[in-house]
C-alpha cells in the first residue's frame, strides 16, 4: 500500500501554490506554453508505464489504455498549445462607439487562481491530466489529487509529475477520504471534481463554505432510446460496445435501453450476436475487470436482486473481479438494476416506445449522455425537445464527448460546468472588463455629479423599448434581431466611411461623399434578409 501525503506536506504544497500565484508567474504565456510542452513530454516518456499500471489496476487491454488515457491526454495538450494565444487574447466587446472606440473597452482573460483537481479511477490519467492541462493554459496554479482507488496509477502520477512540471506552480498530493477532507478545508479559487454525485455533494458542501466555484463532472443513468425505425444491427453493436469498453465503467456508457416493442426481439438477438463476437477467442482476457471487490459486490447484488431474465452473459468471478457483459430483459423502472447508475457491464432492456421512453427519462435526473437510435428526423426532434441531458449522440454512443470545439459536461445531477478544448480554458478563466475613460468625457457626462438636477433625467431614462404594449405571441417576429444587428453594423461602418470621405474631399481627393453613401446603400440592400 502506498504512503499518502502527510498533513504537513499538504499544507506546504498549498502555501507554495498560493505564494507563487500571487507573484504573477503564471500569467506569462511563455511559461504556460513551456509547461504544456512539459506535460506532453511527461506523457510521451511514460506511455508504457501508464499502460502497465492501468493493466495492474483494471486489467485493461493496452489498446483501450492508449486510446482512452494516453491518446486522450495527448490530443488535449496539442489542442491547448495550438490555440493558447488566441484564447488568451483580449476580447473586444460590442460596446458602441463611445465605450468601444473612444474608451477602448476590452475583456482580459485572467486566471482564476489556485485550482484543486480531484481525479477519479475509471480513466485515471485522462480525467486528472486533462483538466490540469486546461488549468495550466488558463494560467492557474494547480493542486492535483488523483484517485486512491487505482493505486498503481496514483503512484505513477506522484512519481512523474514532480520530475517534469514546475513544482512552484503544480503540485500533486495523494490520500484517501481523510486526506481529501483535510484538503477541502482549505480555500481554493475553483475545484474540479470528476466522480459520483454522492461524493460531489460533499465536495460542493466543502466548497460552499468558502464560496468556491466548482466544476463537477458526474454521470447518471444514460438511456438509449431505440425506435422502430432504427438500424437495429448497428444500434445493438454500438450500444454493446459501450458495455464492453472499460467493462462499462465509463460515465457515458449506456445505462439502460428502451426498445420499441416492434423491434425488441431483433435487438436482443443482435445484441447477443455482437457480444459473442466481442468475446470470441481471447475476448474474456481483453475485458477490463471491475475496479475492486466493493464495486464487484455492488454489481452482483444488483443483478441477483433483479426480477428480469438474463438473455446473455451472467458469468462472474469475485476472485478475478470479472463480470461478463450481461443482457437483462423484462425489466421495469422499479427493478434493482434501475435503482442507481450501473457503472458496469450489465444492461437492462425495457420494451417501450419512444413516447413512453421520453416521458420516463424526463421524470428522472438529467443524465450526462442521451443516445437516440432512429432514422426518422421527426422522432429525433421529438425526443430532443422532450428530454434534457449533458449531451446527445444520435445513432452511436458517447461520440459527442469527443467532438472538437464543443463543451463536455452535465446538467442537473449529472454535473455543473464543462470542459474540453476552449471550454476547459474558460472554466478556469475570469473575464475582466477593462475600460479607459478619457478626461474630456466629463464634458458629455458632467450631469452625473452632485448636486443633481432633475432636468437631466431625460438624458438617462429610456422610454421607447421598440415594441408596443398589448402584443401577443402571434405578433412576435422571429429573426428581426438579425435584421436590426445588420442595420446597426452597417450604419457604424457608414459613419466611418462618411468621416473618411469628408476628410478626403477636403484634401481634394476621391471618392466624393455622395459616391461613398450610394456605395453603402447598395451594400446595405444586399445584406438585409429578404
> For the stretch 177-210, what's the b/e string if a residue is b when 16 or more beta carbons lie within 10 angstroms of its beta carbon?
eebbebbbebebbbbbbbbebebbeebbebbeee
Please give the distance of CA 64 from its chain centroid, rounded to a whole number: 21
pLDDT at 529 over 80: no
pLDDT at 281 over 80: no
Give dist(CA 335, CA 383) in Å, integer: 24
Per-residue pLDDT band for 481 (boundaries 50, 70, 90) equals: low
Task: Tell me the pLDDT tens digit for each residue of 20-34.
Answer: 999 999 999 999 999
Per-residue pLDDT band for 418 (boundaries 50, 70, 90) equals: very high
Give dist(CA 387, CA 411) in Å, integer: 12
- Percentage of the chain beyond pLDDT 90 is 81
Task: Tell me the pLDDT tens digit for each residue of 144-177.
Answer: 999 999 999 999 999 999 999 999 999 999 999 9
The Cα-based distances of 239 to 24, 254, 276, 413 in angstroms read: 48, 7, 14, 23
Which of 185, 189, 219 lies closest to 203 in space, CA to CA? 185
Range of weakest confidence among 24-33, 333-342, 485-494: 485-494
Task: Tell me the pLDDT tens digit for each residue of 491-512.
Answer: 767 777 666 666 566 656 555 5
Over its C-alpha atoms, the chain yields an Rg (Å, rounded) of: 29
Average pLDDT, the chain: 91
Give dist(CA 69, CA 119) in Å, integer: 13
Give dist(CA 128, CA 126) in Å, integer: 5
54 and 155 Cβ atoms separated by less than 8 Å = no
Q: How does DSSP classify residue 99?
A: I
Strand extents, DSSP E, 73-172: 106-111, 114-118, 141-145, 170-172
Which of 273, 274, 278, 243 lies closest to 257 in space, CA to CA? 243
214-217 sheet: strands from edge to edge: 170-172, 141-145, 114-118, 190-194, 214-217, 415-416
Give dist(CA 123, CA 58) in Å, integer: 10
pLDDT of residue 99: 85
Average pLDDT over residues 215-235: 97
| Active site positions, annotated | 217, 251
Task: Tell me the pLDDT tens digit for each residue of 96-123.
Answer: 888 888 888 999 999 999 999 999 999 9
Task: Tell me the pLDDT tens digit for each residue of 180-209.
Answer: 999 999 999 999 999 999 999 999 999 999
Beta-carbon-side half-sphere exposure of residue 71 (alpha carbons within 13 Å): 8
Amino acid at each position: 500500500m502506498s504512503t499518502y501525503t502527510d498533513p504537513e506536506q499538504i499544507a506546504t504544497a498549498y502555501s507554495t501554490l498560493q505564494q507563487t500565484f500571487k507573484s504573477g508567474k503564471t500569467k506569462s504565456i511563455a511559461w504556460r506554453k513551456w509547461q504544456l510542452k512539459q506535460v506532453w513530454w511527461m506523457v510521451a516518456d511514460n506511455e508504457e508505464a501508464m499502460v502497465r499500471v492501468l493493466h495492474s489496476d483494471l486489467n485493461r487491454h493496452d489498446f483501450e489504455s492508449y486510446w482512452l488515457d494516453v491518446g486522450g491526454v495527448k490530443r488535449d495538450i496539442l489542442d491547448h498549445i495550438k490555440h493558447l494565444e488566441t484564447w488568451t487574447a483580449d476580447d473586444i466587446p460590442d460596446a458602441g462607439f463611445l465605450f468601444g472606440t473612444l474608451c477602448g473597452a476590452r475583456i482580459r482573460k485572467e486566471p482564476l487562481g489556485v485550482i484543486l483537481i480531484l481525479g477519479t479511477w475509471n480513466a485515471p490519467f485522462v480525467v486528472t491530466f486533462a483538466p490540469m492541462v486546461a488549468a495550466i493554459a488558463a494560467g492557474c496554479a494547480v493542486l492535483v489529487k488523483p484517485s486512491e482507488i487505482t493505486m498503481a496509477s496514483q503512484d505513477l502520477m506522484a512519481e512523474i509529475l514532480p520530475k517534469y512540471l514546475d513544482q512552484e506552480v503544480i503540485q500533486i498530493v495523494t490520500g484517501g477520504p481523510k486526506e481529501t477532507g483535510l484538503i477541502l478545508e482549505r480555500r481554493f479559487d475553483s475545484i474540479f471534481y470528476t466522480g459520483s454525485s454522492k461524493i460531489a455533494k460533499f465536495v460542493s458542501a466543502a466548497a460552499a463554505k468558502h464560496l468556491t466555484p466548482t466544476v463537477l463532472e458526474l454521470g447518471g443513468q444514460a438511456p438509449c432510446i431505440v425506435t422502430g425505425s432504427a438500424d437495429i444491427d448497428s444500434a445493438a453493436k454500438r450500444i454493446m460496445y459501450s458495455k464492453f469498453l472499460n467493462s462499462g465503467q465509463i460515465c457515458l456508457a449506456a445505462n439502460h435501453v428502451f426498445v420499441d416493442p416492434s423491434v425488441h426481439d431483433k435487438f436482443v438477438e443482435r445484441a447477443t450476436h455482437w457480444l459473442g463476437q466481442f468475446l470470441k477467442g481471447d475476448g474474456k482476457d481483453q475485458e477490463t475487470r471491475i475496479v475492486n471487490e466493493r464495486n464487484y459486490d455492488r454489481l452482483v447484488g444488483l443483478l441477483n436482486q433483479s426480477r428480469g431474465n438474463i438473455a446473455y452473459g451472467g458469468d462472474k468471478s469475485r476472485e478475478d473481479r470479472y463480470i461478463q457483459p450481461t443482457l437483462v430483459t423484462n425489466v421495469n423502472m422499479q427493478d434493482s438494476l434501475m435503482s442507481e447508475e450501473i457503472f458496469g457491464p450489465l444492461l437492462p432492456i425495457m420494451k417501450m416506445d419512444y413516447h413512453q421512453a421520453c416521458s420516463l427519462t424526463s421524470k428522472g435526473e438529467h443524465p450526462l449522455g442521451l443516445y437516440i437510435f432512429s432514422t426518422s428526423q421527426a422522432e429525433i426532434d421529438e425526443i430532443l425537445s422532450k428530454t434534457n441531458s449533458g449531451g446527445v449522440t444520435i445513432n452511436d454512443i458517447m461520440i459527442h464527448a469527443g467532438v472538437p470545439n464543443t463543451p463536455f459536461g452535465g446538467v442537473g445531477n449529472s454535473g455543473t460546468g464543462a470542459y474540453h478544448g476552449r471550454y476547459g480554458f474558460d472554466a478556469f478563466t475570469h473575464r475582466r472588463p477593462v475600460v479607459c475613460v478619457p478626461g474630456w468625457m466629463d464634458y458629455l457626462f458632467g450631469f452625473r455629479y452632485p448636486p443633481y438636477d432633475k432636468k437631466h433625467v431625460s438624458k438617462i431614462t429610456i422610454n421607447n423599448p421598440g415594441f408596443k404594449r398589448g402584443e401577443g405571441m402571434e405578433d412576435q417576429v422571429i429573426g428581426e434581431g438579425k435584421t436590426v444587428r445588420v442595420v446597426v453594423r452597417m450604419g457604424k461602418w457608414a459613419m466611418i466611411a462618411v468621416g473618411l470621405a469628408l476628410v478626403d474631399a477636403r484634401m481634394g481627393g476621391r471618392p466624393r461623399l455622395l459616391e461613398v453613401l450610394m456605395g453603402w446603400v447598395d451594400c446595405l440592400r444586399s445584406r438585409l434578409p429578404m
